[in-house]
Amino acid sequence: MVREALRSYRERVRSEFVSAFDEDRSPHEIAASFATGIFITSLPTLGTGLLLFVAIVYLFERVSRIALFASLIVLNPAAKWGVYAGSFWIGTQLLGPVPGVTLAEVSFSAGPDVVTRLLVGNLVLAVLFTVVGYVAVHRLVREYRKRDIEVDVEELLPEALVEQDVSTRDD
């Protein structure tokens, strides 16, 4: 059951990327749209990121809607918990530990020091994800269009989502 869910997720990501690659947009526009979506999705917007997506689509004619919304699949709500944990760790490394608070006691109610570390770390991760996302998608779009081959999106996915048994792939 879990294996089937992972396969379905992988195929959905692949489908969204290929749809974006086939759009009548430049590689830069597609990559920039995806990177913008990744940046917004990485931040703790508490659901308001979707409103920002709608505003971006409305305001900018050359945005790739498919690439922008594909970022929601990559950084889905389940993945966000890992982003938040990493954000707090990075924020703590940059700003130092919060006095009197252990990792087990971390919550928004723990005070502004915890929130500050979370937001600083989250901004660092958002910028990192944005740069990596832009470079990866730009390169994939260029290669896809140059060679007109099937893109191996699995290279972009975390190892846990890639099936180990290559003989069961539906390539």
- What is the predicted pLDDT for the residue at 39? 94
Backbone angles phi, psi at 3, to 5 degrees: -60, -40
Instruction: Taking residues 89-99, report their average pLDDT.
Output: 86
At 114-161, the pLDDT tens digits run 888 889 999 999 999 999 999 999 998 888 777 765 555 556 555 555
The domain ranges of the chain are 2-161
- What is the predicted pLDDT for the residue at 135? 94
pLDDT over threshold 50, residue 165? no
Q: Max CA-CA distance within the chain?
A: 57
Q: Please tell me the distance from the alpha carbon of residue 19 to that of residue 23, in angstroms, as a whole number.
A: 7
CA dihedral 53, 58, 59, 63 (to 10 degrees): 70
Tally the residues of the chain. Answer: 171
At 55-80, the pLDDT tens digits run 998 998 888 888 888 888 888 777 77
Higher pLDDT, 85 or 10: 85
At 101-110, the pLDDT tens digits run 666 666 555 6
At 36-46, the pLDDT tens digits run 999 998 888 77
pLDDT over threshold 60, residue 167? no
Q: Degrees (nearest 5) of the Cα angle 134, 66, 33?
A: 30
Higher pLDDT, 98 or 89: 89
